[in-house]
Amino acid sequence: METALLVIHVLLSLAIIGLVLLQRGKGAEAGAALGGGASATMFGARGAANFLSRTTAILAALFIISSLVLANMASNRTAPDSVIEKVESAVIDQSTDIPVADKAPATPSDVPGVGD
């Protein structure tokens, strides 16, 4: 569930970036008034701006909703144990009858390659 929502979140962000890059800035309107750039648009003089701005607003709303849902999912997770607690529990689980503190220290003859 979380992975699918993350993929949707990334796709929404890429779609918003693409739509914002497709839109004209305010400076482009001044140039269109001088050169009559309405003939170069696919949707007419104002159709593309309305379509792109509405689509961007819808995608932005979906992006915010997915952000909130992901944040809620992350806040409901239980914190993982620390590394030290994991090591201590592993030592306790694998302990033998002889506790570690009661073992005799290694002598040089017990270590291979030392004292030969």
Global pTM? 0.53
Local confidence pLDDT in tens for the 116 residues of the chain: 889 999 999 999 999 999 999 887 776 666 555 655 554 555 555 556 688 889 999 999 999 999 999 999 988 887 666 777 667 666 665 555 555 555 566 666 666 665 55
**Which three-class secondary structure state does DSSP give residue 4?**
helix
Distance of alpha carbon 48 from alpha carbon 54, whole angstroms: 10
| 91 vs 69: CA distance, rounded Å | 39
Confidence (pLDDT) at 116: 53
Return the structure tokens found at 20: 């914002």
Q: Give dist(CA 9, CA 65) in Å, integer.
A: 9
Q: Which DSSP symbol is given to 24?
A: -
> Which residue from 56, 78, 77 is spatially nearest to 2, judged by alpha carbons?
77
Nearest by Cα to 59 from 98, 106, 17? 17
